[in-house]
Amino acid sequence: MTDLVIIGGGPAGMSAAISAYENGVKDILILERDDSLGGILRQCIHNGFGLHKFKEELTGPEYAHRYAKRVRELGIPVKLNTMVLEITEDKRVIATNSHDGIFEIQAKAIILAMGCRERAKGALNIGGSRPAGVYTAGTAQKLVNMKGYMPGKEIVILGSGDIGLIMARRMTLEGAHVKAVCELMPYSSGLARNIQQCLKDFDIPLRLSHTVVALHGGDRLTGVTIARVDESRRPIKETYEYVSCDTLLLSCGLIPENELVSGIGADISPVTSGSIVDQDRHTSAEGVFSCGNVLHVHDLVDYVSEEGEIAGKGAASYIQGTDVRNTDIKISVDGKIRYSVPQRITEKKDVTLYFRVSGVYKNVRVNIYGDDKLLISRKKQRVAPSEMETVKINRDMLDNISELSLKLEVVQ
């Protein structure tokens, strides 16, 4: 019997472990499938992490190192190179590694912190042949930054999310020629500063409202056909353009890696592809918590750590039997606001809501209603899907209401 099993040793899992420990739960085990703690941060060697959390600009490995060091100092046990195969409703965790074989741990509580994976070629319906030389941006990042292999010399990137932008710069610095970054949407989903420092700094063209419609080549990619898309994101035939390249990198979205949840019947949000959780990141499966990119995809690791802290603390109260459920408030969104985390509140206390919008909107108000009463109204000059927003709900706003609704209203 182990009090708390944490699945995943990335930023979410490490932060959850530290938080649970500091809140009194000492019997913790972290299961990590890679050969070291840190998760995806290990290959994110660029800087820009930790401005919220540490008030300084760190690289991914440095950020991970601070947490891994703390986990070591606290003596929290970690099993590396360990893959979790299944979790059951009665909270048994079945895992495997080459040292222990297949083994089972009975947990009092489980925190899911498995992160996310990239949307790959198979999910994108790109026409043409199927040559080598098509990688997800994250795979290319691992090859370049961890293994020291260059995936190619002449690069086209599809998708202008932050990983795509970061890889455009990284490939350029290592001597490749990035010919274009194509973005299906009329705006980039990456941070403005990455457009500047990853593309503009190196004169890499960003082709908005463009997509890749076909791959060319036999054994190896020789080029791609790109095209402009119309308002309904359909390629316009007259704009087909051949671009020769030997490599296509895909940065087309991230999906929570949530397959383990199917074993425990926790409710999944169709919007986030992560679990539906309360203010403590408690899923609908008793004693199972979720945090980080497996819950919903974050843009800043600082928020992932924050969420790990919440889940770790929540799991600690659950294990100690001190968790309180004195209300059940549903949190709903209007569609312009795509989702919020948490999706429900079960304990009256101060709660920060994290939410994302569905499009780029200017001059808006984020209005939060308790049943029909306006509780909070926040003016925003600009909101975009790529940037997570937060709003704090005070405890006393939660009295005598059954629903909180988040609405984005355009200021006239």
Residue closer to another protein by CB (options 22, 299) is 299
Binding-site member from 300, 319, 331, 345 for another protein (CB under 8 A): 300
Report in angstroms how near the CB of residue 236 gets to another protein at its nearest: 29
Joined tokens for residue 1: 């019997």
Report in angstroms how near the CB of residue 190 gets to another protein at its nearest: 10
163 near another protein (CB under 8 A):
no
Residues in Cβ contact with 367 at an 8 Å cutoff, skipping those fewer than 6 apart: 374, 376, 377, 378, 406, 407, 408, 409
Report in angstroms how near the CB of residue 52 gets to another protein at its nearest: 9
* Local structure of residue 37 (DSSP, 8 states): T
146 near another protein (CB under 8 A):
yes
Report in angstroms how near the CB of residue 62 gets to another protein at its nearest: 5
Beta bridge partners of 273: none
Binding-site member from 26, 72, 130, 193 for another protein (CB under 8 A): 193
Q: How far is CA 158 from CA 137, 139, 155, 306, 380, in A?
A: 9, 14, 10, 31, 30
Instruction: Determine the residue type at 302.
Output: D
298 near another protein (CB under 8 A):
no
145 near another protein (CB under 8 A):
yes
> What's the 3-state SS for 115-151?
CEEECCHHHCCCEECCCECEEEHHHHHHHHHHHCCCC
Residue closer to another protein by CB (options 8, 60) is 60
> Can you list the positions of beta strands (E) in 82-219?
83-87, 92-97, 101-112, 116-118, 127-128, 134-136, 154-158, 177-183, 206-208, 210-216
Per CB under 8 A, contacts with another protein among 43-72 are 45-48, 51, 57-62, 65
Joined tokens for residue 53: 């959390």
Report in angstroms how near the CB of residue 36 gets to another protein at its nearest: 9
Binding-site member from 23, 81, 96, 197 for another protein (CB under 8 A): 197
148 near another protein (CB under 8 A):
yes
Q: Which residues bind another protein (CB under 8 A)?
A: 42, 45-48, 51, 57-62, 65, 144-148, 173-175, 191-193, 195-197, 200-201, 299-300, 387
